[in-house]
Structure 1
Amino acid sequence: MDPDPDQDLELLQRWRDGDKPAGGELLARHFNLLRVYFLKRVPERPTEDLIQEVFVRMVEALDRFEGRCSVRTFLIRIAQNVYRETLRELHRPDGQFDPLSESLFAISGRRQSSIVAQDQAQQLLLDAMQHIPSDQHDMLDLYYFHGFTLREIAELQEIPEGTAKSRIDAARRSLLREFMSLLGSDAEVWTDDALDRGLTRVRDVVIRGQPRA
Structure 2
Amino acid sequence: MLCPVADDDATLLAAWRDGDTRAGSRLFDRHYTRLARFFRNKVGDEHYDLTQQTMLTCLERCDQLRDDQRFAAFLLGVARNVLLHHYRTRARKLDKLDFGVSAVADLAPGGSTILARRHEHKLLLEALRALPLEQQILLELYYWEELRGGDLARFYGLPEGTIRTRLRAARQALEGTLPKVARQLGIEVTNAADNLETWAREVRPLLEV
**For the superposition of Structure 1 and Structure 2, which TM-score range results when normalised by the shorter chain?**
0.7 to 0.9
Q: Which moved more, 1:48-57 or 1:114-123?
A: 48-57
The answer to which of 135-144 and 163-172 deviates more is: 163-172
- Structure 2 SS opposite 1:117: coil
For 2:68 and 2:92, locate their aligned partners in 1 and report how far apart those are by CA, in whole Å. Answer: 35
TM-score computed with the length of structure 2 as normaliser: 0.82
Give, in whole Å, the separation in 2 of the partners of 1:7 and 1:149: 23
- What amino acid maps onto 1:172 in structure 2? R
The equivalences for 1:49-198 within 5 A come to: 49-90=49-90, 92-96=91-95, 97-110=97-110, 112-184=111-183, 186-187=188-189, 189-190=190-191, 192-198=193-199
2:40 aligned partner: 39
Matched, 1:7 2:18: no
Distance in 2 (CA, whole Å) between partners of 1:27 and 1:207 is 14
CA contact (8 A) 1:150 1:161 kept: yes
Quote the Cα distance in structure 1 between the aligned partners of 2:82 and 2:94: 13
Q: Which amino acid aligns with 1:51?
A: T
Q: How far did 1:138 drift?
A: 0.7
Contact 2:142/2:148 (CA < 8 Å) preserved in 1?
yes
1:48 equivalent in structure 2: 48
Partner of 1:211: none
Q: What are the Cα deviations for residues 6-50 of structure 1, in whole angstroms up to 9, with x where unaligned?
A: 9323433444566543333222211122123223222363x3322
**Hey, what's the Cα distance between the residues in 2 that align with 1:95 and 1:67?**
35
Contact kept in structure 2, 1:41 and 1:104, CA below 8 Å? yes
Does structure 2 retain, via aligned residues, the 8 Å contact 1:16–1:63?
no
Structure 1 residues 202, 73: closer, same or farther in 2, change over 3 A?
same
Cα distance in 2 for partners of 1:155, 1:16 equals 25
Q: Distance in 2 between matches of 1:36 and 1:124?
A: 17
Distance, in Å, in 2 between the alignment partners of 1:176 and 1:114 is: 22
Aligned residues with identical type, % of pairs: 28
Q: Distance in 1 between matches of 2:64 and 2:196?
A: 39
Matched residues in 2 for 1:168 and 1:11: separation? Answer: 33
Contact 1:139 1:168 (C-alpha < 8 Å) held by counterparts: yes
Task: Name the residue aligned to 2:4.
Answer: none
